[in-house]
A and B are shown apart, each in its own frame.
Chain A
Amino acid sequence: MDKVPTLKMGDTLILTIQVELHDKTAIRLQEDILERVYDTKPQGLVIDVSAVGVVDSFLGRMLSDTATMVRTMGVETVLVGIQPEIAITLQEMGLELKGGAFSP
């Protein structure tokens, strides 16, 4: 997989997930994000998941863990662009995304 496209705007690091992630790429993505946060020292991290069609328990947990790890590094995460059907799916599944904030 190519490196995750990130964009630093002011003090904010913006990252867009544009591919359907499978488990190994999701784990690599997590490491990439943490490295990028360390290198760029942003005030906040925005993860745009509007192109993600399915968030299952694995990906949900990975996003949640990532936000928690990023918080440990002193940076808050905001997840943006969660599609309505994904919000419903997470609720039905009983998976709560923790560690970050949300924005439409």
Chain B
Amino acid sequence: MAEIKRDEDGKVIRIEEEHHVDMARRTAKECSVLMGFGEVKTALIATSVSELARNILVHAGKGTVVLRAISQEENPPSPPFGKGGLGGFSGERRGLEIVFADQGPGIEDIERVLKGGYSTKGSSGIGLSGAKRMMDEMEIESGSGKGTTIWIRKWL
């Protein structure tokens, strides 16, 4: 898969209080609409951001959310359908990437959390697994005592 190119200026939201989660959700909605995502994808993105930003607050107390436009070269189709071929194929897709980072306790068992229905905080436990289903891509870097970084992406 081709490398993901990230726009230089992203929007950064610090998560320290509850209303910051609202701000992250609102900002995600605005970015999504501005980029041209439809209503359904915008709702999926905003809801995912709501889940993961709340996770920062609940599990780590504080952290950051960064929203950024991204693009990626698609595997060029072979001729005669390649660049300049049928339909003026542009060969690049655009999307929105949101990164959630904290220095909290980390996730001990990522597999288990991704199955859903497991929570250490008495909530429904479908936030992280739900976000994975709602987005196109999700990557998690975490471990006990190492903090957590989560990347989610939706392509236009």
Q: Which of B41-49, B59-67, B90-98, B137-145 contacts A (4 or more CB under 8 A)?
A: B41-49
Q: How large is the interface on B (under 10, 10 to 19, 20 to 34, 35 or more residues)?
A: 20 to 34
CB under 8 Å from chain B, chain A span 79-99: 83-86, 88-89, 92-95
Once bound together, how far apart are the Cα atoms of A59 and B137, in whole Å? 24
Nearest Cβ on chain B to A60's Cβ, whole angstroms = 8
User: Is chain A's binding surface mostly helix, strand, loop or mixed?
Assistant: helix
Chain A residue with the shortest CB-CB distance to B135: A92
The answer to whether B47 touches A55, judged by C-beta atoms less than 8 angstroms apart, is: yes
How distant is the Cα of A93 from the Cα of B134 in the complex, in angstroms? 6
> Using a CB–CB distance below 8 Å, which chain A residues touch chain B?
20, 22-24, 53-58, 61, 83-86, 88-89, 92-95
Query: Which residues of B are interface residues toward A (Cβ below 8 A)?
Result: 18-19, 21-22, 25-26, 29, 39-40, 42-44, 46-47, 50-51, 54, 116, 123-124, 126-127, 129-131, 133-134
